[in-house]
Chain A
Amino acid sequence: MPTPMPIASEAGASARVPFADPAQQHEAASAAMWVFLSTEVMLFGGVFAAYLWYRHADPAAFARGSALLDAPLGTVNTAVLLTSSLAMALAVRAAALGRRRPALGWLAGTAVLGLAFLAIKLLSWRHEWTRGLVPALHAGAALAAQPRVELFFVVYFIATGLHALHVLAGVGALAVTGAALARVRDPGRWNPIELTGLYWHFVDIVWVFLFPILYLVR
């Protein structure tokens, strides 16, 4: 791709075309992240709408389905993800204070916790698989002749699968952010880490909603 011709701004600092200065560029990046997150809210909103619709239609079936999940694993995973958000917040703070090494450390911690979340999620999916709770692929006796319980698991796998994809993307974003942070001249005036943080917290919040509606239905 041809490099855009740099255009000197009034401030004299360098910013990518079409921005006048780094502050404007920073502002645009934050705005973009917020708009992006609003699209994500609507995307998950569709899944939540489907969930609410069918739970309203047959609450008992959803309670039966929920009871078949491994709630302890889900609880542990909630703790893991909440802790990762704390680590992310500390990474952002360290970066803002210009402390590169601690920031990198906290970022790595966030990523490790994110991977731990995914590993535990795989474990819980395996739990569902061995019990024959996977519609279409491995549906056992627990789902036989109970279309609405099966529906619960359809929603469960779509919701947790979509969320896991977002966690995976988040871990990738953490890696890219970390690599860039290691090279940047002045970490204190470098804002992409904030945006990665916003995204990570969003993914965390989605789980905070998913966990009770999937695991704690009575």
Chain B
Amino acid sequence: MTTAALERPQPSYLAAGDTLRSWLLTTDHKRIAWLYLVTITLFFAIGGAAATLIRLELLTPQGDLVSDETYNKLFTLHGVIMVWFFLIPSVPAVLGNFLVPLMIGARDLAFPRLNLLSWYIFILGGAFTLWAMVSGGVDTGWTFYTPFSTMFSNTHVVLTAVGVFVTGFSSILTGLNFIVTLHTLRAPGMTWMRLPLFLWSLYATSLVMVLATPVLAITLVLIAVERIARVGIFDPALGGDPLLFQHLFWFYSHPAVYIMILPGMGVTSEIVAAFSRRRVFGYGFVAVASLAIALLGFLVWGHHMFVAGESFYANLVFSFLSFMVAIPSAVKVFNWTATLYKGSIALDTPMLYALAFIALFTIGGLTGLYLASLPVDVHVTDTYFVVAHFHTIMVGGMVTAYLGGLHYWWPKMTGRRYPETWGRVAAVTLFLGFALTFFPQFALGYLGMPRRYHVYPPEFQVLNVLSSAGASILAIGYALPLVYLIASLRGGPTAGPNPWGARGLEWTVPSPPPPGNFATIPRVTEEAYAYTDADRE
């Protein structure tokens, strides 16, 4: 590894200009990461506000806080915003943008201006969606099931679909940029088998973004055509078939679930290695597992449709493949655990998040086995069991990993350190809040409470109150980092280039890095995570 970058001090990318114009017209991947960070934080706040109202409403069995219509719009808003405007861009567009060039020893992504364009497209899509929300909202659920969405809903379906459609191109372009960058801009000596696992997971994510998102695009076009022109595509009254919609939608949306978890796995691999000062156990297997998950992820969409009217044999095949997709996930968990063995483990904030990720991802993954088991799925699908399952993966997994990664690379991004104690408090709060929010929901689902219920039978109230109580703790867990991270921007102690004593090219440049990242392009001579016994003493 090179230390050339440390020899002469350069102004950091943050000092390269502080006008609004210098930010809005930047092509520096590190600044674009910040553009995403700020915007998705706003979207997270909007989606979180909707979730807050939902949990408040569900405190009582009656629909006493908001009307049926409003409730339906709230959970649709929550789903649409959180999926497309927070989770999908979260780790890739913020941490990925910041780190891909730094980790492979490049000056930027392959197409810096395209990268900025992705952000503008994202903003445009977000603007359409927010416009739809402000002008009355949409009540179809984020799944847009037909014929409800095309023929029956009286809300702003097309406008929302346009927003999601536009945003899709942002994620396609980001994926394209990452794939090309990883193929062509790796520094001399940075072979594929020396890539940090974060990049393997982003590579797999990018493949999914690039291959699945266009199918969503065409599906949304078909929805808009049916709704506007009133011609049959999915509506059986006009000769169409709503099951085709579900196939097309889940052909995108199931792989999209992996867009929302693979990057989190990558972050966890980085953190586990850095905080146990050990090379990730079974590096090659963990890397290949990412690709296996991405590829298998394209073959299991039908498990969302076990009670939708698919044929018996289709259900068998999708059930079997769904069991199989659990294997590479299990392999990753075992390897992370094994990495800790004989490590030198520091339970700093990022590591706490990573451990929470492993625990919650394990629970989320194992509860997937219930849903792959056909008769159990028949009982619990479309209930709170499913709600709890995917929130465990996406919130317990991805959001936790995102925050872990943000803490881990915060000193690199800002040059400052956040208050460690507050960080640990927030991580523990978040874990406890999460558990209390979503574990009761598994029970609710098993007991038969369907999802998207505005009013519910009184026997479910106790569990719902527990869940809402957990949500308020969870909210504190999310609010804390927002406060102390922002505060650390001014008052935090200076970090230095490598505050964690971690390996990896990103830690060889100053914090924050200069605009071109590396004074000279480094030459890589060792594998990833080349921690030695001396590092652990």
A/B touching: CB–CB < 8 A = yes
Residues of chain A whose beta carbon lies under 8 Å from any beta carbon of chain B: 1-2, 4-5, 7, 17-20, 24, 27-28, 31-32, 35-36, 38-40, 42-47, 49-50, 53-54, 57, 135-137, 147-148, 150-151, 154, 158, 162
6 chain-A/chain-B pairs, Cβ below 8 angstroms: A1-B113, A5-B515, A17-B107, A18-B106, A18-B110, A53-B244
- List of A residues within 8 angstroms of B233 by Cβ: 50, 151, 154
Q: Distance (Å) between the CB of A54 and the closest chain B CB?
A: 7
Tally of chain B residues near chain A (CB < 8 A): 47
CB of B210 within 8 A of CB of A39, answer yes
**CB <8 Å contact, A28 and B218:** no
Contact between B214 and A39, CB atoms less than 8 A apart: yes
**7 closest residue pairs by CB, A with B:** A147-B239, A46-B218, A18-B107, A136-B229, A43-B214, A42-B214, A18-B108
A31 touches B239 (CB 8 A): no
Given contacts A18-B110, A150-B231, contact A35 B101 (CB under 8 A): no
Q: Contacts A31-B183, A32-B176 given: A18-B101 contact, CB under 8 Å?
A: yes
State the CA gap A40–B175 with chains docked (Å): 14
Q: Given contacts A42-B215, A47-B218, is CB(A32)–CB(B229) below 8 Å?
A: no
- Contact status B231-A136, CB under 8 Å: yes
Secondary structure dominating the interface of A: helix
For chain B, residues 141 to 188, give those with C-beta under 8 angstroms from any C-beta of chain A: 172, 175-176, 179-181, 183-185
Query: Would you call A150 and B239 a contact (CB within 8 A)?
Result: yes
Given A46-B248, A49-B248, A147-B239: A18 in contact with B185 (beta carbons within 8 A): yes
Q: With A and B bound together, what is the CA distance between A32 and B175 in angstroms?
A: 10
Q: Which residue on A lies nearest to B172, using beta carbons?
A: A39
> Closest residue to B235 on the A side, CB-wise?
A147
Chain B contacts of A32 at CB under 8 A? 110-111, 176, 180
What is the distance, in angstroms, from A160's C-beta to the closest C-beta of chain B? Answer: 14
Please give 20 more A-B residue pairs, beta carbons under 8 A apart, in addition to A45-B214, A54-B240.
A1-B27, A17-B107, A18-B108, A19-B110, A24-B185, A27-B183, A27-B184, A28-B180, A35-B180, A38-B211, A39-B213, A42-B215, A43-B215, A45-B215, A46-B217, A46-B248, A54-B244, A136-B229, A147-B238, A154-B231
CA distance A43 to B230 in the complex (A): 22
**Is residue B516 contacting chain A, with contact meaning CB distance below 8 A?**
yes
**Proximity bits, B223-239, A CB within 8 Å = 1, else 0:** 00100011111000011
Considering only CB atoms, which chain A residue lies closest to B111 in the complex?
A: A32
Check B212 for interface membership: any CB of A closer than 8 A: yes
Is B527 part of the binding interface, using a Cβ–Cβ cutoff of 8 Å?
A: no
Residue from the list A4, A45, A49 in contact with B112, Cβ < 8 A: A4
Q: Which residue of B lies closest to A155 (CB)?
A: B233
Interface residues of B (CB under 8 A from A): 25, 27, 101, 106-113, 172, 175-176, 179-181, 183-185, 210-215, 217-219, 221-222, 225, 229-233, 238-241, 244, 247-248, 515-516, 521
> In whole Å, how far is A173's beta carbon from the nearest beta carbon of chain B?
16
Chain A residues within an 8 Å CB radius of B112 = 4, 17-18
Residues on A with beta carbons closer than 8 Å to the beta carbon of B212: 42
Q: Once bound together, how far apart are the Cα atoms of A42 and B231, in whole Å? A: 24
A5 to B16, CA, bound (A): 12
Q: How far is the CA of A150 from the CA of B439 in the complex (A)?
A: 49
Rounded to whole angstroms, the CA-CA distance of A17 and B516 in the bound complex is 9
Distance (whole angstroms) from the CB of B298 to the closest CB of chain A: 10
Q: Across the interface, do A7 and B239 meet the contact criterion of CB distance under 8 Å?
A: no
Residues of A contacting B218 in the complex (Cβ-Cβ under 8 angstroms): 43-44, 46-47, 162
Nearest-neighbour CB distance to chain B for A18, whole angstroms, equals 4
Q: How far is the CA of A46 from the CA of B247 in the complex (A)?
A: 10
Which residues on B sit within 8 Å (CB–CB) of A31?
179-180, 183-184
Question: Is the beta-carbon distance between A136 and B180 smaller than 8 angstroms?
Answer: no
Please report the C-alpha to C-alpha distance between residue A201 and residue B239 in the assembled complex, in whole angstroms.
Answer: 35
Closest to A152 in B: B239
B289 to chain A, nearest CB (A): 23
Nearest neighbor of B243 in chain A, beta-carbon distance: A53
CB pair A24 B211 closer than 8 Å: no
Q: Which residues of chain A come closer than 8 Å to B240, judged between CB atoms?
A: 54, 147, 151
Most buried by A among B214, B222, B241: B214
Task: Kindly state the separation between the CA atoms of A35 and B110 in the bound complex, as whole angstroms.
Answer: 13
Chain B contacts for A27, CB-based, 8 A? 183-184
Q: With A46-B219, A147-B232, A150-B232 given, is the CB distance from A35 to B210 under 8 Å? A: yes
